[in-house]
Amino acid sequence: GAGVSQSPRYKVAKRGQDVALRCDPISGHVSLFWYQQALGQGPEFLTYFQNEAQLDKSGLPSDRFFAERPEGSVSTLKIQRTQQEDSAVYLCASSYPGREALAKNIQYFGAGTRLSVL
Amino acid sequence: AQTVTQSQPEMSVQEAETVTLSCTYDTSESDYYLFWYKQPPSRQMILVIRQEAYKQQNATENRFSVNFQKAAKSFSLKISDSQLGDAAMYFCAYRGGQETSGSRLTFGEGTQLTVNP
């Protein structure tokens, strides 16, 4: 696609409910990132994929958070048993990180999913 | 760990005037990249400008330029001839230069820029 696509745009969940957020990266982009952005704050790193391999999940705040990218394209961020503190915008970004192009490795962001947990 | 600090939560500028947004960072790496992203109400992060730490020359993109002071670990953004469409939240971001350090971006807290007509 022309850009990074995220769905849904908005999600309202009741506390304790499971949610799944989808990210469709730019076609051909190898790397995919998830960030969490609390209201009025800068985004914070959650996890990183290179193709289907999850190379870094150190930013996931708890074991309720799980991300996957089974075919190296679309990714899903799943949050189990949502809590009020999970309310945030979840941003996805993709990039093409070829070694020779590392200096030009730019992350392109989607418009995010705003999650509200009631 | 790397940290990025933006000390100006809000800034305002008159249309057609110039404004400078501040950013400082802390790192022990010698090779890294710095970015300014713009986030309008639509929430989509848009890259404004980037700077490679090994380059002494300050990056420039049309009306946007940076003042990169490596020794002081400072990376400010100057917007010249401000336009109404420049109004947004601006984030300064850092990325390490080595693949082993990861490709993640570390963001500052953001500066909300208002452009007054």
At A37-71, the pLDDT tens digits run 999 999 999 999 989 999 999 999 999 999 999 99
Residue of A42, A56, A108 with shortest CB distance to B109: A42
Residue A1: is its pLDDT beyond 70? Answer: no
pLDDT tens for chain B, 117 residues: list them.
789 999 999 999 999 999 999 999 999 888 889 999 999 988 889 999 999 888 889 999 999 999 999 999 999 999 999 999 999 999 999 998 766 545 789 999 999 999 999
Superfamily of chain region B3-116: Immunoglobulins (2.60.40.10)
Q: Does A60 touch chain B (CB under 8 A)?
A: no
Q: How far is A16 from chain B, CA to nearest CA, in Å?
A: 26
> Binning pLDDT at 50, 70 and 90, where does residue A96 land?
confident
| Helix, strand, coil abundance in chain B, percent, nearest 5 | 5, 50, 45
- Tokens standing for residue A43: 């985004």
pLDDT recorded at residue B93: 96
Q: What is the pLDDT of residues B48-76, one digit of tens each?
A: 999 988 888 999 999 999 999 999 999 99
Does the structural domain A5-112 have CATH classification 3.20.20.70?
no
**Does A77 score more than 70 pLDDT?**
yes
> What mean pLDDT is predicted for residues A34-38?
97
Provide the mean pLDDT of chain A: 91
What is the per-residue pLDDT for B100? 52
Interchain contact, B104 vs A112, CB within 8 Å: no
Q: B97 with B33: CB under 8 angstroms?
A: yes
- Outline where DSSP puts E strands in chain A: 5-7, 10-13, 19-24, 31-37, 44-50, 53-56, 65-68, 75-79, 88-95, 108-109, 113-117
Confirm if A93 and A35 have CB atoms less than 8 A apart. yes
